[in-house]
């Protein structure tokens, strides 16, 4: 049985008796005029079916796996490339393939007399519109599938490791290429070049390339300014490989050498990174990782005199928040901010083998903060991807250096 059949089998066994699941794929999205954005299949649909085309619906129960999809069409295929067609749905394990144009007629008969219809929450309005007179209970599938997606299989781990390897190479390429006077988007091009050259056709999210004060804007992605001598550049960029994300941030000096103040802040973030990663072990949890990062960053800022007072008070009153205003990590998988890891009430679950999280502490010194001028406009984040193992953790992104000396050596080699 292939991995997708195993997932469907596992899921359909969780459903209540006399139920059926209806799954929707992504649709094409118009970018402008008659041009679409590059198509990306819905993550849950992909996880359960591996079916790659737009305009697809799957219907699943213990015995059936039906795929509705586009029909083959010689003229359309001449313009836009091959369409699989219902006759090829069996290649994806389907018990039956049906033309998508027939779903309005056929779907009601497939769900007739069922007690429950399961569907991912964001598609429930669409399902209700398709089945206006239907009286079964509609139940969300999200929690069950999120639990499955939270724990990565060996096959998934191999793909994510490759995504992380490619993204690490891209960061190394960028460290060697950056020069004062380049535009941020020119540095971004080094990432795209490496991703594609290595077989990753897309970015997992819009790359953030922020020089100087732009690094203090958490989701800056205009990437339009010149990189100046003496500034740091923060790059948060990761490729998507076979639909799986990687998510790496490195911060490095545009001219290849950290200033004293940049190094002061960098070393705090680096320590927070290392100590937080150590908490990514079975039985610990994301709250512990986050608290660890807050403690180290607050203590570091106190030691430098950028915060005053007493450690516990700084933490309890959230005064560190002016410098560090995001969480230390998130789960990662088919989505860069992946599902899973919380119980049905929204509480964090303990880390367990096979979970993958980012660890990404940062310090962002906005120019309005009351600190000496030399520290203003420094923004630093260090982000790694870490998998929980049976015996501890494994960092998937340690090919790309993060020690000051190692970064400087690579940049000047
Ligand atoms: N790249 C988005 C994030 O780090 O969460
Ligand atoms: Mn990131
Ligand atoms: Mn991240």
Active site residue 236: yes
11 forms beta bridges with none
The reply to whether 171 belongs to the active site is no
Catalytic residue of the set 194, 264, 360, 384: 360
Does the pLDDT at position 132 exceed 90? no
Query: Quick check: 341 pLDDT over 90?
Result: no
Q: What span, in angstroms and rounded, lies between the C-alpha atoms of 351 and 363? A: 25
pLDDT in tens, 306-324: 999 999 999 999 999 999 9
pLDDT at 133: 84
Cα(206) to ligand 2 centroid in Å equals 10
Q: Which CATH number fits domain 151-411: 3.40.30.10, 3.20.20.70, 3.30.450.40, 3.90.230.10?
A: 3.90.230.10
- Cα dihedral 175, 176, 182, 185, rounded to 10, equals -60
d(CA 148, CA 14): 11
Provide the pLDDT for residue 1. Answer: 84
User: Kind and range of the H or E element at 116?
Assistant: strand 116-119
Give 55-82 pLDDT, tens digit per residue: 999 999 999 999 999 999 999 999 999 9
Per-domain residue ranges for the chain? 3-149, 151-411
Q: In angstroms, how far is CA 154 from the centroid of its own chain? A: 18
Catalytic (active site) residue 267: no
pLDDT at 97: 98
Chain segment 355-409, per-residue pLDDT in tens: 999 999 999 999 999 999 999 999 999 999 999 999 999 999 999 999 999 999 9
Could you tell me which of 309, 306, 308 has the C-alpha nearest to residue 323?
Answer: 306
DSSP 356: E
Tell me, using a 6 A CB cutoff, whether residue 247 lines ligand 1: yes
Catalytic residue among 324, 330, 331, 338: 330
Whether 335 lines ligand 1, by a CB cut-off of 6 Å, is no
Query: Quick check: CB of 384 below 6 Å from ligand 1?
Result: no
pLDDT of 346 above 90: no
Q: Please determine, for residue 127, whether its predicted confidence score (pLDDT) is greater than 90.
A: yes
Is 326 among the residues known to form the active site?
yes
Ligand nearest to the CA of 385: 3
- Tens of pLDDT, residue by residue over 220-277, are 999 999 999 999 999 999 999 999 999 999 999 999 999 999 999 999 999 999 999 9
pLDDT of residue 233: 98
User: CA 328, CA 393: separation in Å to the nearest integer?
Assistant: 16
Mean pLDDT over residues 127-136, rounded?
Answer: 89
pLDDT category at 134 given cuts 50, 70, 90 is confident
User: Which long-range contacts (C-beta less than 8 Å, at least 24 apart) are formed by 204-208?
Assistant: 204/163, 204/238, 204/239, 204/240, 204/245, 204/246, 204/247, 204/336, 205/238, 205/245, 205/247, 205/336, 207/235, 207/236, 207/237, 208/234, 208/235, 208/236, 208/237, 208/249
pLDDT above 70 as % of the chain: 100
Q: Which position among 156, 194, 247, 335 bears the catalytic label?
A: 247
Q: Above 90 in pLDDT, residue 285?
A: yes
- Percent of the chain having pLDDT more than 90? 96
pLDDT band at 200 (very low <50, low <70, confident <90, very high): very high
Mean pLDDT of the chain: 97
> Is the C-beta atom of 264 inside 6 A of ligand 1?
no
Query: pTM for the complete prediction?
Result: 0.96
Domain made up of 3-149: CATH architecture:
3-Layer(aba) Sandwich (3.40)
Active-site residue, 193 included: no
* Residue 270: both structure tokens together: 């680096």
Helix (H, G, I), strand (E, B) or coil at 348: strand
């Amino acid at each position: 049985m292939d991995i997708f059949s195993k997932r469907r089998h596992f899921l359909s066994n969780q459903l209540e008796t006399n139920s059926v699941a209806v799954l929707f794929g992504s649709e094409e999205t118009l970018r402008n005029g008659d041009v679409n954005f590059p198509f990306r299949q819905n993550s849950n649909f992909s996880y359960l079916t591996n079916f790659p085309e737009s305009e697809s619906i799957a219907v699943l129960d213990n015995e059936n796996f039906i795929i509705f999809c586009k029909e083959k069409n010689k003229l359309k295929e001449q313009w836009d490339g091959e369409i699989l067609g219902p006759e090829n749905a069996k290649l994806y394990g389907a018990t039956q393939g049906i033309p998508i144009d027939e779903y309005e007629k056929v779907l009601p008969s497939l769900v007739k007399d069922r007690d429950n219809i399961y569907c991912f929450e964001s598609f429930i309005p669409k399902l209700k519109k398709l089945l206006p007179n239907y009286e079964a209970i509609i139940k969300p599938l999200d929690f069950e599938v999120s639990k499955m997606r939270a724990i990565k299989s060996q096959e998934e781990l191999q793909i994510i490791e490759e995504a992380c390897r490619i993204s690490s190479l891209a960061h190394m390429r960028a460290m060697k290429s950056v020069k004062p006077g380049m535009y941020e988007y020119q540095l971004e091009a080094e990432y795209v070049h490496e991703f594609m050259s290595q077989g990753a056709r897309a970015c997992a999210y819009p790359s953030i390339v922020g020089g100087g004060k732009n690094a203090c804007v958490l989701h800056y992605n205009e990437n339009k300014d010149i990189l100046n001598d003496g500034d740091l550049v923060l790059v948060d960029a990761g490729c998507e490989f076979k639909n799986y994300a990687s998510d790496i941030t490195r911060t490095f000096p545009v001219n290849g050498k950290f200033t004293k103040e940049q190094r002061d802040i960098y070393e705090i973030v680096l320590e927070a990174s290392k100590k937080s990663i150590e908490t990514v072990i079975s039985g610990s949890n994301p709250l512990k990782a986050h608290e660890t990062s807050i403690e180290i960053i607050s203590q570091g800022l106190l030691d430098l005199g950028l915060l005053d007072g007493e450690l516990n008070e700084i933490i309890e009153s959230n005064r560190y928040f002016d410098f560090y205003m995001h969480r230390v990590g998130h789960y990662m998988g088919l989505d860069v901010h992946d599902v899973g890891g919380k119980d049905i009430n929204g509480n964090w679950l303990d880390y367990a083998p096979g979970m993958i999280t980012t660890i990404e502490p940062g310090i962002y010194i906005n120019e309005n903060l009351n600190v000496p001028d030399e520290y203003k406009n420094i923004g630093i984040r260090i982000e790694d991807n870490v998998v929980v193992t049976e015996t501890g953790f494994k960092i998937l992104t340690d090919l790309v250096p993060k020690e000051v000396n190692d970064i400087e050596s690579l940049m000047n080699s």
